[in-house]
Homo-oligomer: A and B are copies of this chain.
Amino acid sequence: MLFSKLCQVATYTSLLLIGSSVTNAAQATQAQLANQGRTVHMGIILFPGFEPLDIIGPLEFIFSVSEKFPIKLYMIADQVGAVSAVPPGRAHMAGPQFLATHTFQNTPKLNILLKPGGMGDISMVEAGNTVIENFIKQRYDELDYLMSVCTGSVSLARAGVLKGKRATTNKRLYNWVTSNGPDANWVPSARWVEDGKVWTSSGVAAGMDMTYAFLKMFYGDTVNENFNTLEYAPLLDSRTDPFAIVHNVTGRDDGNLTSCVTPAGF
């Protein structure tokens, strides 16, 4: 609790003192400069019943950053065309349709692959549909980074790429997801988890906080201005996970509720 309060007072004091004149003075590393200069091929998997914010949370910030650094986007599904967020069997729901631009067959080599979650994950597992798991398994070695949001980690687990790795997932469906990946080291209290090239986030909105940490690592502090333009104050401490409490996840750690949410760079 003490750190939480100190953090908040300190950051807001700096806001009031410095205002918009603050600059992100930290130098980019050589690796970050190289990332800024190379074209990143980014794939996002679409499937019926995807969770819209699992995709657009991360993609909003990637879209913004793509104004200054080269990123090519591949929206990947069974076939090119519209894919609905409305889950199979729930036609009464009011969900958007996103356009798939590539298929599991014709997507070129990727640097980063994101697997979102959604109620469609449950439908696919129940139907024994392994097309996404197979795609992840096929592409794993070529990727620099593999990311999932929410229940999206179920596909990573079933593809076998979480074996021995630390990972997290949606906290309401924690038991269901983790039962699909008994060989992973699941972290009950985590907004997101990074283990080598695999980044997994907790449910839905957590994907935005993971994306801030990821883009800051990948491109450097220059991404702070994107998050401030988009008026998103990211959670900075990946261990802060009040939703593990809300959903009463077994084995949770209640010691890290810092909730330090402030504009990026302050």
Contacts and interface: CB of A to CB of B under 8 A. Distances in A.
Interface of A: 1, 4-5, 8-9, 12, 15-16, 19-22, 42, 51-53, 55-57, 59-60, 62-63, 66-67, 70-73, 75, 82, 85, 90, 92-99, 101, 170-172, 202-206, 208, 228-233, 242-243, 245-248, 254, 257, 259, 261-263, 266
Contact of A204 (B15, B60, B96, B202): B60
A60 B202 CA distance: 16
Most chain B beta carbons < 10 A, residue from A22, A93, A231, A263: A231
B62 A53 contact: no
Contacts of A66: 92-95
A174 B63 CA distance: 21
Contacts of A5: 5, 8-9
A228 B245 CA distance: 11
Point out which of A5, A22, A90 has the most chain B C-beta atoms below 10 A from its C-beta.
A5
B228 A246 contact: yes
Instruction: Report how many copies the assembly holds.
Output: 2
Contact of A94 (B9, B15, B72): B72
23 contacts: A1-B9, A15-B242, A16-B254, A19-B245, A20-B245, A20-B246, A52-B56, A52-B59, A53-B230, A56-B60, A59-B94, A59-B96, A71-B94, A97-B98, A170-B231, A202-B231, A204-B231, A205-B230, A205-B231, A228-B247, A242-B263, A246-B266, A259-B261
Given A51-B60, A60-B52, A95-B73, A232 B246 contact: no
A234 to B, nearest CB: 10
